Structures are given as structure tokens and as C-alpha cells.
Structure 1
Amino acid sequence: MKKKLNNAADNSRRNFLRNAALAATGFYIVPRHVLGKGFIAPSDKLNVAGVGIGGKGESDLWNFYQSGKANIVGLCDVDDRMAKTSRSRYPKAAYFHDYREMLDKMGKSIDAVSVSTPDHMHAVIAMAAMQMGKHVYVQKPMAHDIYEARVMTKAAHQYKVVTQMGNQGASGDGVRQLREWYNAGVIGEVDTVYCFTDRPVWPQGIAWPNPDPNIPAGLDWKLWQGNTALRDYVDGLLPFNWRGWWEYGTGALGDMGCHLMEAPFRVLGLGYPTAAECSVATQYTKPWTRSFHPESGPIASHITLTFNVNGRTVKLHWMDGGIQPDRPEELGSNELFGDGGNAILFVGSKGKMMASTYAENPRLLPLSRNQEVHVPQTLARVPGSANGHYAAWVEACIAGYGSKEQKELSSNFDLAGPLTEIVLMGNLAIRSYNVQEPNPKNPKSFIYPGRNIQLQWDGANMRITNFEPANAFVKRTYQNGYSL
């Protein structure tokens, strides 16, 4: 037995020396995990692979690279057209169409994975990486449905990996300024918050388009659909308009909710909501005919989420599609509400405060108060503010999960998971609103039992307790052999 142990140790030492020698000659990059916890690879950099490398994924990888502490070693995209820039920027990185093949072939050379695909694939890709012990950075929202967010949050600790969601405003100075004002009692106790956006800026509330037999060269349409039911290809869905379809995207809420709701989530210490209700806009496709397309998000909505915060009731209002709350009376007639199209407004017992997208440009109302009120800085700022969101994750991954050197991240899954659940609860309310059932009094018509009610949410058990059909939107059924 002792001889076998000695042989194993010798083999391990020989393998290490061989790999280190290869690294010194530039033919092999030793991933950090090969050297064990607490050791630094010869390159002293994080080996990152990207899944979804066009658009936002492209800029994510570039920000990791610009930190000076990351090697981009693997690239994966189902669409060659979207991959062009990243492939030319990192010519030494291996390129794949299927993330499963990349993880299988490159697993030992990868330390961390960045996921920036359409929303429906976030969870399965991130979970596959975490189960291999890879740190993950996942674009917002980190999941497509509530169940996925809960599982991913637990998995970060189960697999001992460093995590971050791509809502960079969480690392900005704005949310910290808002917290300092609130903690100092400047606006008193808050019982109402408004978040609004001018999204969607893509088609919603429409019928599924007619199929197009001309699948673009370079696109693997089946792989793009991933864990959803397979459909014929339609033109115009890629690269952006998938957001409007529940099968793939999470609508205006998924696009902007994590950027706008993060501030009230952090400032007020919100947990799981206790209730949700909504109203949505409908369209008239022809005289006296209202369109109904439950597989697509609405053109506009107003969602109200209720929270219990230390025994106090707090209402969070979400408005999209250009809907806005009444202008604060403290705001001048020509003064901008938020950034015009998007804003966060806190209504307190002693005053109000607002901010723009990503909690940027925080202001007390009336604006003259900003010259009069001064509170000490009590919260540490992230180096680089919102732009430092990326480097902070890279450095935390290099330090390693649970290490003394690891710095607290602004949107690790302990924070991003519950925030994402709040966002997705709004979508659950919208989809429940459109649940359609035959009218028992008139078989030729329908009723909508999810409308005009307040959904009661048992957060711990992830269940709506007073409208069973709503629970179908807590967890999806995957197709095509995918699983968590």
C-alpha cells in the first residue's frame, strides 16, 4: 500500500513538473486548480471561458481581459456570426458551438466560465460549470425562473465556487450613497418604491411569426433552442428580439429589473415578497378585437410586490412600456425624473430620493437638499465603481472560494439569487394574469381566473398558495435531454 502511495505521489510530482515546464515554454497554461488551493499558477491569471461571446458576452470577456488578470482560453457560441469579434480578439482560444463539448474537452484548462446566452440557457450552463468546480459569472437575470435561481444560489456553496451576476450597478457608488442616506435616516422609513423603464424596445404582445426555411449560415438553430421545445426557425428572433418570448426571455423585467430593483433590494433589505399583483396593457389588432398572445410578454405592465420588512409593509411598484408614476411634487417642472426613461424613486416618511438606471446619479428631493445634506461615508466603494464589477470577480476567483484573501462581491449568488427571484416573481404575476380557462357559462368564451386577485407567495417553499395554476411558472420542464 505504501509503495502505491509513493508511486502516486511520484506520478503527481512528475505531471506537475511536466506541466510547469510546458507552461514556461508557452505551450501549456496551468489552470489554478491544478496547483491546489492557495497556490498561484505560473501565469498568475484566471483562465476564463465564455459561453455566448457576441454582444454583451463580447464586452464581458473584454472587461475580464482588461483587468490584466485573466486569460481567455475558451470560446463558445451557437452562432458564428456573433462570435467573429471575440474569435479575432483571442485567436489562441479554442472555439466550440456546444458548451458541453467545451467543458468536456477543456475542463482541466478552465478556471471560470462567463455565461451570456439568452436567458433560457443561463442556469443549465452555469450549473454544469459549477458542478465541475468552475467559478461563474452569469449575465442578468441569472435564471429564467424562480426555481433555477434558488438551485443556483445553493449550488455556489455546494460546489465552493465564486459567483457574480452581471448587474454592474451593484458595484457602483450610487447604491452605496442611497444606502448611506437611508441608514442615516435622511428620508425616514420607506414604505413605497417605484421602479420604471421605457423597455421593451423589442416586439412583445404579438403572435409567433411565420416560419422561415432559410436558417442563416453559421447558426445552429437546434443548439440555440437548447432546453426549449423545438420550433421551426423564424426570422428576426436573433440576436435580440428573443427577449419578448417567455420560452426564451424574461421580458422588460428580466432586461432591466436587476438594474433597477437592486437598489431597493439592497437599501431596504428586502427578502422574498409575500404577495404579487399586476395589470397589463392589451392591443387591438382590428376594430373591437383584443389581441391575446400568452407566449409573449405584454407591451406594458404595472406590477406591485408586497414585502414584510421587520414587521413593516413595503410596496415595490414596477412599471414598464413607458408607464411612469406621478412626478414627485418636489421635482421641478423641467427637472428630469430619473434619466427620463428609467428611474428608481424611494418615498420615505421624511422625504424622497431617486436615482437613474444602475442606481447612478442618486439625488435627494427636492434637488436643493443635495447641497444641504452631508452624511459620512460608511460603506466601502468598489475600485472602479460599476466598471470594477468585472475585475472584482476575477480577483475573487484568483483568491479562491472561502479564502482569507477573497473580497466580498457586490452580486454574488447569495445576493443575486434572491434579487432575481423578486424580478421573476413579477413575471409569474404577468403570466398568471393571462391564464386562460373555458367559461363554464359559455363554452365559446374564456375566463381569466388569475386576474383581479392578489397572489399569495410562500417564499420558503416557492409556492403560490391561492392560485394553483400560477405554480406552473415557478419551474419549467426542460426539453431535449437538458437538466440541472
Structure 2
Amino acid sequence: MKEKKKLQKASTTSRRNFIAGSALSAAGFMIVPRYVLGGKGYIAPSDKLNIAGVGVGGRGYPILKDASLLNEKKKTTVENVVALCDVDDVRAAKAYENYPKAKKFKDFRVMLDEMKGDIDAVTIGTPDHTHAVIAMAAMQMGKHVYVEKPLTHNVYEARMLTEAANKYNVATQMGNQGNSSNDIRRICEWIWAGEIGNVTEVQTWTNRPIWPQGKQKPTEKPPIPDTLAWDLWLGPAPYRDYHPDYLPFKWRGWRDFGTGALGDMACHIIDPVFKSLKLGYPTSVEASASTLYIDDFVEGDLSESFPSSSVIHFQFPEREGMPPVKLNWYDGGLRPQRPEELEDNEQMGDPNGGVIFIGDKGKIMCGCYAANPTLLPSSKMKDFKEPKQTLDRVEDGHQRSWVAACKGGKPASSNFDYAGPLTETVLMGNLAIKSYYLENGRKKLLWDGKNMKITNFKPANDFVKRQYRDGWTLGV
């Protein structure tokens, strides 16, 4: 009779709690493998994650495809994709075609409200300026979230999402895919094993932007495409008239929507630095950038667009027995000096960018996404023996490891406890660029990370967070 009551209790457990595994763990049951019941490779419907995709017209589609394991030819998935949301029907057409059973929405708020009992997890592949409001709304409803990089549009939003993920006890992941690679773990193991000694400086760079930047706001008012819900696309950003200079893709160069070259690539390129050197909040940030104004410069006026190139210097304090370290960032075609250990015929980094760790016993170079790490000079790799493996490898890839976390597995590698502070650091660079133009010159900003406050230049604190348009809120 006692066992019968336990079985009755388990049968009334909510579907979402079943997915997370918490109710079964509490009941102490032994679960019979599904392949025993339904054949090898069988996945029971109750074991599938119900996923909703937001922003499926661009980057959001491949995210959802990998998370759900979509077979485009057969239009079948391993997970259930129950809802699709996008503000542009034309851009989202491929997703609509390949997930024919999913319900379609333009407004994520309507989707979450109407389907709150049918969604377990949400993937977010929208432009940067809407990441936070969508992710926060989903987490507050108990939904797991996967958010493309950068996690948010500003420092304050990143802090709020990090805190919310813990408050609502949901599985999270940011889309810096290199964080799940073997190479980033090898770099960590090399550095922690002392292969290049104490690292005191790191050079990082990217080939971005590959979209227009350093532009003035367009003045023309072309008609809004019939398939585009322009007001919803704007979301919490200040209202402005539609223009094709903003979308698709070119939104990255506009301050109200994107986060520039730094926001696009630094979460990939700085990632192995942040992880291997166990970085937290920087203590200071200093920037310089290309001229945004020529004939129409107004002192104190900030451009609508990010600069075409910039250089940023971050300083981090001593931590966990590691010495203070300076992190340098270059974009827009600018690069650090080639290390003398690099042969003339050797490429520095890769076409997308790279990293050079400078230690007191040697150097390590890698490309974007932590790819292809090598000691410098590269001739050292001939007799190099990998140190003992100390970090588990991610077997199923970045999106699928998040799915596993949603189902009660171990936290994903770039969950918000990690991705939040990384994003804050990246976006501090943009804050420094804004301050550089505000001052019309170079200025080092001193940063109190715990309290999210610039201590030596009060006007810069206006850039830590932003005001949302009426009708939009972060809900905190």
C-alpha cells in the first residue's frame, strides 16, 4: 500500500518537474532505461524538452536547430519545438517550414502567456537590445533559457540576469560556443600547469566590424515592410523610424540595438582568457577609438553608431594566487604587434581574430573560439606533452549540453554564473568608449564591480544601464 501511494504521487507530478528530475529524485525511484521499454535509441515523449524559439529568423534558427536536433529533410526533431516567435515572417520562413507543428507568434509576451504550461525552455536569438527582457520574462515563469552572445545590451542587465537565474533555479547558457570546446579546456590546463609561468598581459583582437559603423543616423523614412512588426522589433529601445540601415544584421553597429565589434566577438575571443585566468570584474578600463565626427562634432554629443575601430585596456587584480593582469583589445583592423617568436610565414591568430597570452616563461596563441592553441614559438609543440587532464570535456556540444542541464544534468559550461560576469567585462569596454567621446579624449575609468559604479567619472555611470521605452520593463 505504501508503494502504491508513492506511485500515485509520482503520477501526479507536473511534466516540467519530471523533466527536471527533481520529483523523481525526491521519491527515490529507480528509473528503467527507456531503450529497455521502447527499443534502443527510443526517447519517450515525456523525456523530450518542449522548446520555444524567439528570434528564429536569423541566428536563432541554427541555435534552435542544434538544440532540438532537427533533421531538415525529414522535418523531425529529438526535442519538441512547440512555439516559434519572430517579428518578421519573411526572415522566419525557413524555421516555419521546418517546424510545421509549432505555433507561431510575433510577440514573445503573448507566446509566453498563451503557452506558459506547454513550454519548458526558450532559445533567444534576437538582436542584443531585446535579450534581457525576453530572458527575464521567461525565467520568471520558470523557463530554462539559452541566450545568444553577448548575454545583454548593458552591464546592469547582465547582473540582473545572473541573479535571476539563481533566484528562479533554471538552466542557462550563453551562446559563446567555444566555451564547450576541448581547446578552451586545454588552454586552461596548460596555464594552470604553469607551462608559460605567470601571465601578466594578454593581447586580443578581431577583424570586426564587418558591417557599417561610425555612421550618422539616417534621415530618410522608407515604408516599413508589410511582413515586419517594426514596433515589436524596437522593443525597449527608443522609438525611431524604420530604415534598412538597421536590419537585418546591420543593427550591430547602432548603439540602441547592438554592442558593436566588441559585443559581437569578445564573448568568443576573450572567453579563454576569462576562463583560464579566472578573471572577475576589472578594476579599470581605458579606451581610445576612431573619430566619429568630422564637420558636425558637438562636444558631449554621442554618436548613434559605434566607431569603426577601437582599442581597450582592461586591468584585473590579483586573484586565486595569480598576479594582476592587463587585457588589451583591438578591433576594426587594428592589431597588437606580432610576437617575435612568430615566424614570418605564420598567421597570427585566425581570420576572425585571436589571443596571445604573455607569461614570464613563454607565450600561448590561439584563434577565435580558443581554436588551435599553440605554444610560441610553434616549434615547441613538436615535443610538447599535454599536462594531466583536469577538466571534463563537453561531449554533446554547446546547445545539447544546455538541453541536458534543462533535464536535470550538470550546469552548462557558460551558464549565467560564468557568462554574466564575462558579459559585464565585455560591455565595460563599450562603456569606456562612450566615456572617451564624452570627454573628447582618453580617460581611465576606475570600476567598483561589486556595486556597478565608476568611482572617478560620475557621468559614465549613466551608461551602466539604460532607460526603457514606455511599456517595456525588465521586471526587477
> What's the TM-score bracket when you normalise by the shorter of the two chains?
0.7 to 0.9
Q: 1:317 to 1:236 in 2, by over 3 A?
A: same
Q: Which moved more, 1:104-113 or 1:407-416?
A: 407-416
1:305 aligned counterpart, secondary structure: strand
Query: In structure 2, how many angstroms separate the alpha carbons of the residues matched to 1:392 and 1:274?
Result: 33
Distance 1:213 1:177, change over 3 A: same
How far, CA to CA, are the matches of 1:60 and 1:288 in structure 2?
41
Per the alignment, residue 53 of structure 1 pairs with 56
Q: Give the distance between the partners of 2:413 and 2:45, measured in 1 at CA.
A: 29
User: TM-score scaled to structure 2, two decimals?
Assistant: 0.88
Equivalent residue in structure 2 for 1:456, among 439, 442, 446? 446
**SS of match in other structure, 2:52:** strand
* Identity percentage of aligned residues: 52
| 1:480 alignment partner, one of 449, 470, 473 | 470
1:65 aligns with 2:68: yes
List gaps (5 residues or longer) in structure 2.
Answer: 25-30, 32-43, 71-76
Q: 1:271 aligns with which of 260, 274, 280?
A: 280
**RMSD across aligned C-alpha pairs, in angstroms?**
2.4
Quick check: 1:48–1:73 contact (8 Å CA) kept in 2? yes
1:314 paired to 2:303: no
Distance 2:401 2:232 in 1: 32
> Is 1:132 aligned to 2:135, yes or no?
no
Shifted more, 304-313 versus 256-265: the winner is 304-313
Q: Take 1:341 and 1:47, find their aligned partners in 2: how far apart are those partners?
A: 35
- What is the match of residue 35 of structure 2? none
The aligned counterpart of 2:209 is 200
Q: Are 1:367 and 2:352 an aligned pair? A: no
- The 5 A counterparts of 1:1-150 are 31-33=15-17, 37-39=22-24, 42-66=45-69, 69-150=78-159
CA 158–283 in structure 1, closer or farther in 2 if over 3 Å, else same: closer
| Structure 1 pair 305–114 and aligned structure 2 pair: CA distance change class (3 A) | same
Match of 1:434 among 437, 440, 459: 437
Structure 2 equivalent of residue 378 of structure 1: 390
Shift in Å, 1:50: 0.6
Q: 1:22-70 CA distances to partner (integer Å, 9 max, x unpaired)?
A: xxxxxxxx84347883459843110000110012100001001118642
Question: Could you say what secondary structure the match of 2:84 adopts?
Answer: strand
TM score, norm. by length of structure 1: 0.86
**C-alpha distance in 2 between matches for 1:128 and 1:354:** 40
How far apart in 1 are the matches of 2:64 and 2:341? 42
Match 2:358 to one of 320, 337, 347: 347
Deviation at 1:294, TM superposition (A): 1.8
Aligned equivalents of 1:172, 1:198: Cα separation in 2: 22
Distance in 2 (CA, whole Å) between partners of 1:111 and 1:37 is: 14
| Alpha-carbon distance in 2 for matches of 1:430, 1:367 | 35
Which structure 1 residue ranges, 4+ long, deviate > 6 Å from structure 2? 286-290
Q: Deviations over 1:296-320 (max 9, x none)?
A: 1000000000000237321000100
Counterpart code for 1:361: N
* Alignment of 1:407 onto 2:397: no
Q: Distance in 2 between matches of 1:470 and 1:194?
A: 25
Preserved contact between residue 338 and residue 348 of structure 2 (Cα < 8 Å): yes
- For structure 1, the residue ranges without an aligned partner over 5 or more in a row are 1-8, 21-29, 400-405, 436-447
Q: 2:302, 2:434 within 8 Å by CA — same for their partners in 1?
A: no
Q: In structure 2, what is the Cα distance between the partners aligned to 1:295 and 1:284?
A: 11
Are residues 31 and 110 of structure 1, via their aligned partners in 2, closer, same or farther at CA, if it must alter by over 3 Å? farther
CA contact (8 A) 1:273 1:422 kept: yes
Alpha-carbon distance in structure 2 between the residues aligned to 1:221 and 1:152? 26
2:174 corresponds to 1:165: yes
**How many residues are paired up?**
439
Q: Pick from 328, 333, 344 the counterpart of residue 344 of structure 2.
A: 333
Aligned 8 A contact 2:198 2:323 in 1: no
Confirm or deny that 1:357 pairs with 2:357: no
Measured in 1, the distance between the counterparts of 2:295 and 2:304 equals 20
Q: Distance in 2 between matches of 1:52 and 1:157?
A: 25
- Which whole-Å CA distance do the structure 2 matches of 1:287 and 1:431 have between them? 17
